[in-house]
Amino acid sequence: MEERKLKLGGIIDGVGWNYTGWRHPAIPADASENIEYYVQKAIQLEQGKFDLIFLADVSHIGHGMIPHYLSMFEGVSILSALSMVTHSIGLAATIATSYADPFTVARQIASLDKISKGRAGWNAITSNPGGLANYSRSHLRKADLYPMKKEFLEIVEGLWDSYEDDAFIRDKERGVFYDPSKMHPLHYTGNYFSVEGPLNISRSRQGRPVVFQAGTSPEFMDIAAHHAEVIMAPGHDFEYLKAFTAELKRKVKNQGRSPHDLLMMPSHNPIVGETEKEALERLREIESWMPKGYRMPKPGLIGSAEHVAEQIEHWYREGVMDILLIRQDHPAGFEDFIRWVVPILQDKGIFRKEYEDDTLRGNLGLPYPVNKYTK
């Protein structure tokens, strides 16, 4: 098997995943709900040959939260817009299984997959219980979240197989629109959800959207081992990540799946310069916007581009970083990474110079999921 190269993802999070980034002169103060800002960042990431744009989410807010969460776009809506100004980069939105409705989510993400011609991903998370209050689910408890998530995933994946790949004939001459034998209702009855199906949308060029998941607990791992294709993981602790990855891959194997088909995606907020001195200047610039005396937690990836690229290569070769997911704390974060670090990763031969494909699955090197009724 040819060695899979390193993949890159970028989180676009408007004014930033911190309290003070919105005050930086180079950030539009309304960046989290500014379409031009999102378009500019999406094009920038695609020019950097990134595999995917990733959006985190929040479902319950209140005073004291980061400015980004207080006024932001809904994920699928903004990614649909971005699909029209990009061509190869993947588009992954976070939607919590604890709040949303599986039929609606299956339909939204499948639509994004068709609109983008095979570039959609869905990050299925439980999220924290706070959101239950916004989605008429206050009668449920934290203990319900994982059993609910399991049903949710079974339904969504089932609905994405509603039609076999060749179900739609659309022959105008003969007047044959589709082959009824290739349409499959779901008839799912669970403790939380009951869905008859079928879903009224056909499969996409990548078969179905790529399923991402984020979490850490044993309950999380059991479900992820069965359903996840990409795991978003906390990125700061190498030893923790190594143990977590080994345990998860063991569970994947027990499910009869190939561990190669599960990609680890730790997230980082790299701060790089051409030299270490420049990187530290960037850090100080970020800190200058924070309240007096406050210091930013030191990022896991900081320093000269050469140094950061070496660290990335180490994590990649150790099998804990199939995809590096980055967000930017400095408004030039993506720009710095793309102009300084990406060329070094390319020279090392571990990152692409051109897209291999124009579907998300194709670029990630994930297998095409054959429709379960066709098998």
Ligand X SMILES: Cc1cc2nc3c(=O)[nH]c(=O)nc-3n(C[C@H](O)[C@H](O)[C@H](O)COP(=O)(O)O)c2cc1C
Rounded distance, CA 313 to CA 351, Å?
10
Q: Minimal distance in Å, beta carbon 22 to ligand X?
A: 19
Compare residues 125 and 320 and give the one whose CB is closer to ligand X: 125
Contact residues toward ligand X (CB under 6 A) are 56-59, 94, 96, 125-128, 214-217, 219-220, 232-234
Q: Minimal distance in Å, beta carbon 199 to ligand X?
A: 25
**Quick check: 89 and 45 in contact, CB under 8 A?**
yes
Compare residues 49 and 149 and give the one whose CB is closer to ligand X: 149
Compare residues 71 and 194 and give the one whose CB is closer to ligand X: 71
Rounded distance, CA 287 to CA 298, Å?
11
Rounded distance, CA 108 to CA 112, Å?
6
Q: Minimal distance in Å, beta carbon 60 to ligand X?
A: 8
Q: Minimal distance in Å, beta carbon 57 to ligand X?
A: 5
User: E-assigned strands of 64-135?
Assistant: 90-96, 120-125
Question: What angle (nearest 5°) sits at the alpha carbon of residue 271, between those of residues 231 and 232?
Answer: 5
Q: Minimal distance in Å, beta carbon 23 to ligand X?
A: 23
Listing DSSP states for 2-36 in one string gives PPPPPEEEEE--TT-SSSSGGGSTTS-TTGGG-HH
**Quick check: 267 and 238 in contact, CB under 8 A?**
no
The structure tokens listed for 110 are 């499948």
Cis previous bond, 198, omega within 30: yes
Strands 194-195 and 210-214: unpaired
Compare residues 94 and 359 and give the one whose CB is closer to ligand X: 94
Q: Minimal distance in Å, beta carbon 124 to ligand X?
A: 9
Compare residues 94 and 116 and give the one whose CB is closer to ligand X: 94
Compare residues 131 and 197 and give the one whose CB is closer to ligand X: 131
